[in-house]
Amino acid sequence: MDNMYRENILDHGMNPRNTGVLDPATIDYEVKNPLCGDRLRLTIRVDENNIITGVGWDGEGCAISQASASMLGEEIMGKSLDDVQALTKDDIYTWLGIPISANRVKCAMLGLKALNVGLYGLEYWRDLQDREEEDEE
């Protein structure tokens, strides 16, 4: 089973979906992981009903960060901002389908961080991380 997920990660990493920056974009946010050098710029178009009608991203990094950004883009297209706000790191882990080591968590969460900070601000992201850590205890 792990091989299937590894192949999916490699496929998304080598053939990422929704690449390219949208212009104009409703949301345009770039995030970096200074520990490993990964970078992701996420652009999103939202219509008057708060439905995501376009997703584009650009970045460099490891296969995990690129694959999770690609998977995230596929997942949020056509969804409402309310639905997207409910996404958590557990969703990312599920999409990736393999255990993520502690030193790769920030890589895997780069897209989700760009999404949340771009939509709701850095304080929201920090609060979300704090709540998830409390839930793990």
Name which residue leads in pLDDT, 133 or 106.
106
Q: What is the pLDDT of residues 52-84, one digit of tens each?
A: 999 999 999 888 888 899 999 999 999 999 999
Q: Is residue 136 over pLDDT 80?
A: no
* Bridge partners (DSSP) listed for residue 19: 57
Q: Does domain 2-129 have CATH number 1.10.1330.10?
A: no
Q: Where are the domains of the chain?
A: 2-129
| Contact yes or no for 45/22 (Cβ under 8 A) | yes
pLDDT reported for residue 2: 59
